[in-house]
Structure 1
Amino acid sequence: MASVEIVYWDDRINGSLKSDKINVEPYGFQLSPIAEWRILISAEDKEVEESKVCAIDVEPIDVPENAIVSPLPIMRHALGVLLDVYVPGKLKKVEESKKITQAIFLPVMSGKIRKGELIGVINIRYVKTSTLNKISKMLSEWAEKAKWAEDIGGIRWE
């Protein structure tokens, strides 16, 4: 386990900056075959400038516990692409629910994004979490049960 300092915006990007020390350990997860797409809709009118990354307020999106989020770069606004999403406050564990309030956006040309416009799509994947120690133990148990047989180059189930 390692002790690290995390630095985060407490309320919104460019708002109140805070930091905390936390303990972390290697972590892993198993992806569920179930996922869903959610659309990010601008909650404000925003002038954007080509090649200048900006934060855009979006209509809030609740992310359930045991889920990870990733942007879909193929679904984009004509003025640019969604790079990431922002959840206010201290970093949360995968096991906790979250609320997305802002989007990190990279304009490919200057212009105005209007309130109510689609600015991107996110993929929400459901996961089963575990520490890497637990995953390693599960794999060792599986390998023991599988009885790896190098002489025939395969796995024999009994």
Structure 2
Amino acid sequence: MYVVSRQNGKVVSKKVRASPYEFTIATRAKWEMIISDEDIEIHAGEYRKIRVQEITLGPETLVIPCAFTYHNVVSTVKVGLKEGTSVIEKPRHIHYAYVFAQETGKVREGELIGVLNIFPIMFTRDAVEPVILK
């Protein structure tokens, strides 16, 4: 399979060998606020990537955006890393949110635009670490 990510601003496709694996999700979780780190104007129906205050995730955590709307103009669909993709076994740092505008309006720096549900996980069998193939 190929993993497509961004490195130094360029889109890169790497062939990797990996395998599916099972995990157990904890019944304990953490809420983390998604706070805008820039001012933007956005139009109803627009999908956009915006900077957010950094959120640090520990290794072996699963992140699911909360389904509730926390901002009257936008809803957070997903979050992203500066470096693009990353394996779950290492710490990750979220710097972006991808938002969908319900209405035309503004998002200002410091505004709450969403919440993440962060669940610790435990692998139920050893996963094969992805290997880059040449």
**TM-score between both structures, scaled by the size of structure 1:** 0.75
Contact 1:26 1:131 in 2 (8 A): no
Q: Which has the higher helix share?
A: 1
- 2:119 match: 125
Unaligned runs of 5+ in 2: 128-134
71-80 or 39-48: bigger deviation: 71-80
Are residue 8 (structure 1) and residue 2 (structure 2) matched?
no
One-letter amino acid of the counterpart of residue 93, structure 1: V
Q: Which residue of 99, 110, 113 maps to 2:104?
A: 110
* Equivalent-residue separation in structure 1 for 2:42 and 2:71 (angstroms): 12
Are residue 78 (structure 1) and residue 75 (structure 2) matched?
no
Instruction: Output one character per residue of 1:111-141: Cα deviation in whole Å (capped at 9) or x when no partner.
Output: 11000000100000000024489xxxxxxxx
Instruction: Output one character per residue of 1:134-155: Cα deviation in whole Å (capped at 9) or x when no partner.
Output: xxxxxxxxxxxxxxxxxxxxxx
Aligned CA RMSD, in angstroms, stands at 1.7
Q: Aligned residue pairs: how many?
A: 127
- 2:38 match: 44
* Equivalent-residue separation in structure 2 for 1:40 and 1:110 (angstroms): 20
Question: After the TM superposition, which residues 16-31 of structure 1 pair with which residues of structure 2 at under 5 Å, given as runs?
Answer: 16-31=10-25
Higher RCO (CA 8 Å, separation ≥ 6 residues):
2
Provide the secondary structure at the position in 2 that maps to 1:91.
coil
One-letter amino acid of the counterpart of residue 18, structure 1: V
Are residue 67 (structure 1) and residue 64 (structure 2) matched?
no
**TM-score between both structures, scaled by the size of structure 2:** 0.87
Query: Considering only CA atoms, is the larger Rg found in Structure 1 or Structure 2?
Result: 1
Contact 1:26 1:132 in 2 (8 A): no
